[in-house]
Amino acid sequence: MKVEELGEFGLIRRITQQIARRAVECDASVIIGLGDDAAAWEKTSGVVEVLTTDTLVEGRHFDRKYTSWLDVGWKALASNLSDIAAMGATPSLVLVTLGLPYDLDVESVDAFYDGILECAAEYGGVVVGGDIVGSSEFFATIALIGKSSDALLLRSNAREGDVIAVTGTLGRASAGLVLLKNNLENGTTRTSVLRSAYARPEPRMSDGKLLVSHGICCAMDISDGFLADLGKLCEASAVGALIYASAIPIHPEVRRMFPEQFMDFGLGGGEDYELVFTGSRRIVDGLIKVLPSGGTIVGEIVQGQPGSVVVQDDSGCVINVDSTGWDHLLR
Amino acid sequence: MKVEELGEFGLIRRITQQIARRAVECDASVIIGLGDDAAAWEKTSGVVEVLTTDTLVEGRHFDRKYTSWLDVGWKALASNLSDIAAMGATPSLVLVTLGLPYDLDVESVDAFYDGILECAAEYGGVVVGGDIVGSSEFFATIALIGKSSDALLLRSNAREGDVIAVTGTLGRASAGLVLLKNNLENGTTRTSVLRSAYARPEPRMSDGKLLVSHGICCAMDISDGFLADLGKLCEASAVGALIYASAIPIHPEVRRMFPEQFMDFGLGGGEDYELVFTGSRRIVDGLIKVLPSGGTIVGEIVQGQPGSVVVQDDSGCVINVDSTGWDHLLR
């Protein structure tokens, strides 16, 4: 069935029922959820709320040829959750706006929403509303509200002398995308970790909370590539950064599959959804031993042109990196 | 200059500066605004927050041929504010997501944001974040948070015996669109009220607050056409509605310009952004005398198939109405 046969309100009803069937226990403070002009909720004092939004557009951020609608839905929410994780907050309410081509299958929308709901069941968030419009290409905008009763992790809190660390490993998602695009090793177990890093990113919710509880106050998520995002963090903090190339944690499968390019993937590849954070060496040393996703010190915050990031090899030589991240409007 | 020349981050910086230049006094409770992963704010207890989102897509909701970018921006926010007004709440925080064709002029984006900021200056709301992505057609999704320390206006609160009333007049926006599309009376003062109703809708913020303070508890805004939206209200309240055609407040210029079609515009035309509300005759009679936008009783809530709306003429005959609203996915 095509969405144009069902119509907007039929589709909204369908999605509402779909959500109701899978209803996560709803936050008791939600007063108005789906079905009214707006969602409403009540907060007690002392709790800080955070709000973020992120959009996927077909043909720009994903391709149906190698991404299932289920995975598109998952990723649409996961990319927002990653922003909430990077604040050290906990997700609460989700608004979903869909732009849908007239001839899209309703089953695709079902699968898309299933992906959102699977991700929400795993990491949190209750869908409380949204909007559906017609458009020539598919897009999905999610607005996500989170909350925290602790301090927040801000980009602007890096200080000279801090060490720089990242969770997990870098470059998996961009390497996975290359495999998917070129249909390389499709179906092999060994490289599935790369494909799933691209298709099913895991927002670092627990890591974010742990950073806060250990007294870290500066972090952001790595969605546009490590160097590009670190540059934004440094710009916000009016500092520079020095990165040791050999310290970058690159997954062994990325090294094996791309022996010439692995460093470009690690430093420049997008969509890793790991966290980069800074803090005193003492705190970070202790912290990386207990982070659920693991952690690695990769450099230090230095005086310098705000936003400038220098990458050094083991002999202290500056390395030029080809790929410096993803800008949604530059071609 | 094209947006592809400026790039995403250049554009974000440009918009951030544009907003800073026009900064409305920012709500003191905003802790994190533009420039971090998420916006954050703190609420005191007893205050209810509301959250809504609405999207405009070029070619579906507007056409550059007869809508300026300034007006597109205004309307993008106004349509969200209208939802907040329909809850009886006050706008607070705004997130703006833009999908931009690569070859769009930066000046167009400037004008679009000017429209948002003009509307925010007039009716409230502080832009605290958003997202920009590339897309083949322009779209804008706004997420808007509002707050209220009073009861909210819900669609589900209509009761049998309530009278139904609307603010302002109906059909102006759809009549204005016909004038613009066909270049009729372009530039004449007499019909400018119709064109501006389409291009610069005025969200009924003060009216919404007044409804609440007078004890009304059921309302929604009329964006998809009066009958279509009233049907949704009745469905949410599990009631029917009887409408007196002759009572529908239709602007004299709509009657004059469209002597054959004015009733279709009034009952079915979209984008009026007036409020429809229900309540006891005693309360509504008093209220419509003091509503800033005026008010008119147009029918009553009756027992019946939930969501069913019947329109009668003066002799009690049922009228068939051609146009029953706008569904974004039906062609």
SS3 string, B259-291, reads CCCHHHHHHHCCCCCEEEEEECHHHHHHHHCCC
The verdict on a CB contact (< 8 Å) between A155 and B35 is yes
Domain-ending residue, one of A90, A121, A148: A148
Cα-based distances in Å from B234 to A34, A224, B133, B305? 16, 47, 38, 9
CATH number of the CATH domain containing B28: 3.30.1330.10
Residue A70 domain boundaries: 3-148
The stretch B293-306 carries a mean pLDDT of: 96
Does B327 sit within 8 Å of A9, measured CB to CB? Answer: yes
Do A44 and A88 fall into the same domain? yes
Q: How far is B77 from chain A (nearest CA, A)?
A: 14
Same domain for B89 and B171? no
Tell me if B246 is assigned to some domain. Answer: yes
d(CA A232, CA A226): 10
**Which has the closest alpha carbon to A273: A124, A64, A67, A81?**
A81
Q: DSSP string spanning B57-116?
A: EBTTTB-TTT--HHHHHHHHHHHHHHHHHTTT-EEEEEEEEEEE-TT-BHHHHHHHHHHH
For B157, which residue in chain A has the nearest alpha carbon? A36
The reported pLDDT for the residue numbered A132 is 80
**Are both B184 and B58 inside the same structural domain?**
no
Residue B23 has what pLDDT?
45
Q: Is B153 helix (H, G, I), strand (E, B) or coil?
A: coil
Q: Are A141 and A284 contained in the same domain?
A: no
Residues A55, A185, single domain; the answer is: no
The verdict on A50 touching B (C-beta cutoff 8 Å) is yes
Asked whether A210 and A290 are in contact (CB, 8 A), the reply is yes
The token duo for A121 is 């069941």
Asked if B22 and B142 sit in the same domain, the reply is yes
CA A247 to chain centre: 22
CB within 8 Å of chain B, chain A residues 2-31 = 3-4, 6-9, 11, 31
Does residue B185 belong to any structural domain of this protein?
A: yes
Q: What's the CATH number where A208 sits?
A: 3.90.650.10
Q: Do B223 and B141 belong to one domain?
A: no
Please tell me what DSSP assigns to residue A2: B
| Amino acid letter, B203 | P
Query: Are A18 and A133 in a shared domain?
Result: yes
Chain A partners of B234 at a C-beta cutoff of 8 Å?
A: none
B219 is a domain residue: yes
| Range name among A70-74, A185-189, B171-175, B229-233 with the lowest pLDDT average | A185-189
Residue B326 lies in a domain: no
Single pTM value for the model: 0.86
Number of domains forming the structure of chain B: 2
Within a domain: A328: no
pLDDT at B31: 44
Closest approach of B265 to chain A, Cα-based (Å): 21
pLDDT of residue A45: 63
Q: Are residues B120 and B14 in the same domain?
A: yes
Longest dimension (CA), chain B: 65
- Does any domain span residue B118? yes
Contacts of A89 in chain B (CB under 8 A): 38, 40
In a domain, A325, yes or no: no
**Backbone phi and psi for residue A75, each to the nearest 5 degrees, phi listed first:** -70, -35
Residue A252 lies in a domain: yes
Residues B95 and B11 in one domain: yes
pLDDT digit of tens for each residue in chain A (331 aa)? 776 777 655 666 676 666 565 444 334 345 444 545 555 555 566 677 888 888 999 998 999 999 999 999 999 999 999 999 999 999 988 888 889 888 888 888 888 988 998 999 899 988 877 778 888 899 999 999 888 888 889 898 999 999 999 999 999 999 999 999 998 887 788 899 999 999 999 999 999 999 999 999 999 999 989 999 999 999 989 999 999 999 999 999 999 999 999 999 999 999 999 999 999 999 999 999 999 999 999 999 999 999 999 999 888 888 876 545 555 555 4
Residues B222, B272: Cα–Cα separation, whole Å: 6
Chain B neighbors of A84, CB-CB under 8 A: 37-38
Taking only residues 191 to 230 of chain A, the set having a beta carbon closer than 8 angstroms to any beta carbon of chain B reads 220-221
Contacts with B, A 120-179, CB within 8 Å: 128-137, 139, 141, 143, 145-146, 148, 152, 154-156
What pLDDT was estimated at residue B53? 87
In this structure, the answer to whether residues A211 and A193 fall within a common structural domain is yes
- B296 and B230 in one domain? yes
d(CA B115, CA B108): 11
Give the separation between CA B76 and CA B128, rounded to whole angstroms: 16
- Chain B positions touching A220 (Cβ under 8 A) are 36-37
Cβ distance of A102 and B40 shorter than 8 Å: no
